[in-house]
Amino acid sequence: MISAFLFRGLAGRIAWVAAAIALIGILVPLSNLFLTPEHALYVPDYIVSLFGKYLTYALLALTLDLVWGYCGILSLGHGAFFALGGYAMGMYLMRQIGSRGVYGDPILPDFMVFLNWKELPWYWYGFDQFWFAALMVLAVPGLLAFVFGWFAFRSRVTGVYLSIITQAMTYALLLAFFRNDMGFGGNNGLTDFKDILGYTLQEPSTRAGLFAAAAFALCLALIISSAIVRSKFGKVLLATRDAESRARFLGYRVEHVKLFVFTLSAMMAGIAGALYVPLVGIINPGEFAPANSIEVVIWTAVGGRGTLIGPIVGAITVNLGKSWFTAQFPEYWLFVLGGLFVAVTLFMPRGILGTLSDATGKLKSLGSGKATALVQDPADASELRKEGEAS
């Protein structure tokens, strides 16, 4: 009964947060475009760009939370799906430059002219159409996740092993995209974008639009994730996380469950990447670096995994901290980030949101005089599981 109550409370909270994000997505661009700089509520251009970027990070953290917090798959390669989505969008933006590039070639992007390529490689066909690029943003990360997951989950690669090979996957992609003859701009990546869907990227109005799109995507992803988690399928998901063998013995195809969530999460990460690229104006192989993917994990952990709102809070908090530290004390940022990893895992395994709900839960139970056990507690549950299965 208490858990049912908490569950309804959680759902209510997600509705509130989704509404708040949607509202921000509408109000911030409006304020940026229609208020004068002197107005008290005016949002400057750089804030729009910066927070637009944070929103895409939040979306990425949310997708990781879906697989890690709810399914127990610690992916150290989610940055790869993000970057693949980004490259798909980057290819579209590259084709949109047309003959305005430095070399003025109507078809070939600048770097291909520079490398003396004579014609467009086959995998660049179709990217001059937005709908095709948008399809690829979903399809490429989704396909990679599907193939990778199909192999990995079928042969029951779990735990640390899975984390390590996801890291190897993003590392292999990093090396591959650094190569010039891959046809993705090598070291420099894709940049010098001009416009998207006919709107100039430098215009504040375009950036405001991108901000709105990022907020909308995040809002939608939140609602979808919430629906999945609250459905019957979501229960199986949690069962897989907490006691995989038991769920299998009860007749659930846990590898299918994992594969579905992993693929869905990769596709949403691709969307995050696709929104990120026009906002920052560049995509390069550095996005595949294993360190980036691990950083996403810490956003999620700081905010609180196993809660859908946590990763959003975590991504924005950590990145605000990063922006501030790298400007004020560039020397100490790595200490702070490293300390964050250690402190969160040691002292706040359930993140900011988990700790907060613990505190409020305790208050309530004090008030009602009952001992409350939180069902939605991944850290405790996984500990229980370890103890149970080790013996």
Partner 1 sequence: MTLLRALLVCLVTLVLSSAAVPPSMADDLQDTINALADGSLKDRAEKVDALLATGDPKVVPVLSQLADGNLYVRKADNRVFLTESAGKNFTLTDPVSGEVIPDINKRTLDKIKANNSLRRQIRDGLSLFALNSPDPAKRLEAAETIFKAQDASALPAIEARLAKEQDPEVSAFLEEARAGLVLSSDASESDKLAAIDVLREKGGRQVLSMLTAAAEKGEGAVRDAAERAVVAIERVLAIWEGVQNIWYGLSLGSVLLLASIGLAITFGVMGVINMAHGEMVMIGAYTTFTVQQVIQSTAPGLFDYSLLFAIPIAFLVAGAVGFVLERGIIRFLYGRPLETLLATWGVSLMLQQAVRTIFGPTNKEVSNPSWMSGALDLAGLSLTWNRIWIFFFALAVFGLLFLLLKRTPMGLQMRAVTQNRNMASSLGVRTPWVDAFTFALGSGIAGIAGVALSQIGNVSPNLGQSYIIDSFMVVVFGGVGNLWGTLIGALTLGVANKFLEPFAGAVLGKILVLVFIILFIQKRPRGLFALKGRAVEQ
Are residues 305 and 68 in contact, defined by beta-carbon separation less than 8 angstroms? yes
**352 forms part of the interface with partner 1 (CB under 8 A):** no
Cβ proximity to partner 1, 19 vs 291, nearer residue: 291
> In whole angstroms, how large is the CA radius of gyration of the chain?
22
CA dihedral angle for residue 201, residue 330, residue 78, residue 121, rounded to 10 degrees: 50
Please choose, from the candidates 33, 79, 25, 32, the residue with its C-alpha nearest in 3D space to the C-alpha of residue 52: 25
Residue 374 binds partner 1, judged by CB under 8 A:
no
Residue 302 touching partner 1 (CB under 8 A): no
Q: CA 158, CA 161: separation in Å to the nearest integer?
A: 6
* Cβ distance to partner 1 smaller for residue 7 or 161: 161
Query: Between residues 12 and 159, which has the closer beta carbon with respect to partner 1?
Result: 159
Q: Is the CB of 187 or the CB of 200 nearer to partner 1?
A: 187
Decide: is 348 part of the binding site for partner 1 (CB under 8 A).
Answer: no
Q: Stretches 48-56, 100-108, 168-176, 259-267: which one binds partner 1 (CB under 8 A)?
A: 168-176
Q: Contact with partner 1 (CB under 8 A): which of 11, 33, 172, 223?
A: 172
Stretch that binds partner 1, among 19-27, 53-61, 124-132, 381-389 (CB under 8 A): 381-389
Q: How does DSSP classify residue 332? A: G
325 binds partner 1 (CB under 8 A): no
Q: At what angle do helices 78-97 and 290-303 cross, to 10 degrees?
A: 120
Decide whether 146 or 178 has the Cβ nearer to partner 1. 178
- 52 near 279, Cβ under 8 Å? yes
Stretch binding partner 1 (CB under 8 A), from 38-46, 218-226, 259-267, 378-386: 378-386
Eight-state DSSP code of residue 386: H
CA distances from 342 to 287, 298, 330, 339 (A): 24, 10, 20, 5
C-alpha span between 217 and 100 (Å, rounded): 31
Please identify, using beta-carbon distances, which residue of 119 and 331 lies nearer to partner 1.
Answer: 331
By CB under 8 A, the residues from 15 to 74 that bind partner 1 are: 74
Backbone angles phi, psi at 283, to 5 degrees: -140, 125
Rounded to 10°, the helix 309-328/45-68 angle is 130
Select from 11, 341, 355, 364 the one that contacts partner 1 (CB under 8 A): 341
User: What are the E-state strand segments in the chain?
Assistant: 190-191, 195-196, 199-200, 282-283
Instruction: Supply the minimum distance, in Å, between the C-beta of residue 22 and partner 1.
Output: 32
389 binds partner 1 (CB under 8 A): yes
Which one of the spans 2-10, 22-30, 112-120, 159-167 is the region binding partner 1 (CB under 8 A)? 159-167
Nearest CA-CA partner of 186 in 103, 137, 114: 114
The answer to the question of residue 147 lying near partner 1 (CB under 8 A) is: no
Instruction: Work out whether 115 is an interface residue with partner 1 (CB under 8 A).
Output: no
Return d(Cα 150, Cα 258) in angstroms, integer. 9
CB of 236 to partner 1, least distance (A): 20
Nearer to partner 1, 17 or 162 (CB): 162
Cα separation, 152 vs 173, whole angstroms: 18
User: Which residue in 41, 346, 367, 371 binds partner 1 (CB under 8 A)?
Assistant: 346
Among 340, 352, 353, 381, binds partner 1 (CB under 8 A): 340
As measured in angstroms, the least distance from the Cβ of 178 to partner 1 is 7
278 and 89 in contact (C-beta within 8 Å)? yes
Q: Which of 91, 219, 279, 301 binds partner 1 (CB under 8 A)?
A: 301
Distances (CA, A) of 41 to 9, 30, 48, 126, 204: 32, 10, 13, 43, 17
Smallest distance from partner 1 to CB 251, Å: 20
> Distance between CA 142 and CA 135 in Å, rounded?
10
Residue 145 interacts with partner 1 (CB under 8 A): yes or no:
no
Number of residues engaging partner 1 in binding (CB under 8 A): 51
Q: Binding residues for partner 1, per CB under 8 A?
A: 74, 148, 151-152, 154-161, 163-165, 167-169, 171-172, 175-176, 178-179, 290, 294, 297-298, 301, 331-332, 334-335, 337-342, 344-346, 349, 379, 382-383, 386-387, 389-391
